[in-house]
Chain A
């Protein structure tokens, strides 16, 4: 096993054996399992909440299952991904675990790249699995639920995950505190979310991925090309910047 494979394996094991996997997987599975039930009973719950005088609400349809899931993807999952990725480098620097590795000559560049790849791939896989679970959990309640949205949602979510992890990796490399890195990344994500009202940003930048997630439920025909390309380009820039930041970072230990 090469040095890179050893480090990659450690990253994957760390995800599995520590709080990271539990923090991401348990909420995602919970949301994926409960989303269809919430969508199914939402009209009844709302009617009960609004009282007898209100107009009867239309019955739930299978699209509501995916809309519920997309809402979770926009509002909850990004924060989980950011919190996990924020500690990837800042946490190792703070605890000093990375010091013997760097002192022994293992490249800082490889550390950043491998950590980024693992966080991104795990994030995408978890979202893909969560979307599949949403579909499967929706089947008993909505037998006509379409499968195609699972693929479209995952396709739109993937560049968004890549972008969020890249931004957080940069913050984690440049900011000494894990909390600070998470805070900065959340601020950037909120900024991206806040720009969705601007048509030009929606069309040409990663900002467009957020509304595209909602559009992915029904094939709206909206193009994901530029938001995806710009997300990948910005992700690459962020990872390069993260490498430079980590190369210049002073490792003083715990």
Chain B
């Protein structure tokens, strides 16, 4: 089942196109990362999905229009009622969204513990930004949502807080669908299993990391830094049946292969036969950042 769907969604302001013809599906159960630079259209897409702003054209749907599903949202800069305590706020959010009453109290206790706010009895108005962000995440989870939408959830956190949030998202895998946006590609790659890359209001790639790499034209490859003549080494490697492209970059030879395992066995032997040394040998898996750079290079 599809948890969230965008159908040719566009958003235009007077002279600016914030989102252009976005079509995208978020499968139920996925951790879906929406990435892009600031201003790429991530927050706009999320806010249209949640009905906070209107699309200029196109449509969105949540769970195919099923009304009984719970959705919760953590904005990039969450706003709170400063006069409430954390517990009062969670009780309020749970009450307004009508979560299962019997579980509310225990869930609130657990979430306050998770947010490290159990012993804080002062009003939210006096909280630090990190405390507010943690409370925001607790707020987003208090209704046990079927779809959890997070807009830049780690951007305001210190390294430990950021790690906690990423771990929490990974713990939720399989229990709820998560759609989150971030410009911190390392975070997205760490937790998401599906990705969409927005660039200048356009969707430029979408799918698993492997699919994104294919779209970006970058694939896993082997890199060998040769002590000797890299050109000779490269020409011999290129004649092998498993080789699918060889490129010399200074003293480094970049090898694309259809059988990485076999290549890793045979490359040291080729180097030995040619009396070359190996300074470095790496199996390079291009990251999301590599794919992102490849896809957006020249257009930024």
Residue ranges of A at the interface with B (Cβ–Cβ < 8 Å): 1-3, 5-7, 10, 13-14, 17-18, 92, 95-106, 248, 250-254
Contacts and interface: CB of A to CB of B under 8 A. Distances in A.
A100 B74 contact: yes
Given A100-B140, A250-B53, A106 B97 contact: yes
Interface in B231-268: none
B77 A10 contact: no
A99 B95 contact: no
Nearest to A103: B73
B72 A103 contact: yes
Contacts of A17: 83
Given A6-B92, A18-B83, A100 B76 contact: no
Given A1-B95, A104-B71, A250 B77 contact: no
A2 B53 CA distance: 27
A248 B54 contact: yes
B24 interface: no
19 contacts: A3-B98, A5-B95, A10-B92, A18-B83, A95-B79, A96-B78, A97-B81, A99-B79, A100-B139, A100-B140, A102-B52, A104-B71, A104-B73, A104-B93, A104-B96, A248-B54, A252-B53, A253-B75, A253-B79
A14 B72 CA distance: 23
Contact of B72 (A2, A13, A97, A104): A104
Interface string B66-106: 00001111111111110100000000110111100000000
A7 B70 CA distance: 18
B52 A252 contact: yes
A77 to B, nearest CB: 24
B76 A253 contact: yes
A97 to B, nearest CB: 4
Given A105-B97, A250-B53, A252-B53, A99 B73 contact: yes
A159 to B, nearest CB: 31
Contact of A100 (B51, B72, B95, B98): B72
B93 A101 contact: yes
Contacts of B71: 103-105
B75 A96 contact: yes
A3 B77 contact: no
Contact of B96 (A7, A250, A254): A7
B109 to A, nearest CB: 19
B3 interface: no
A100 B80 CA distance: 10
B102 to A, nearest CB: 14
Contacts of B73: 99-100, 103-104
Nearest to B91: A6
Given A3-B98, A6-B95, A103-B71, A251 B53 contact: yes
B142 to A, nearest CB: 10
Contacts of B96: 3, 6-7, 10, 101, 104, 106
Contacts of B143: 104
B224 interface: no
Contacts of B53: 250-252
B218 interface: no
- Pairs of residues from A and B, 4 with the lowest C-beta to C-beta distance, nearest first: A96-B79, A6-B95, A103-B73, A250-B53
Contacts of B47: 250-252
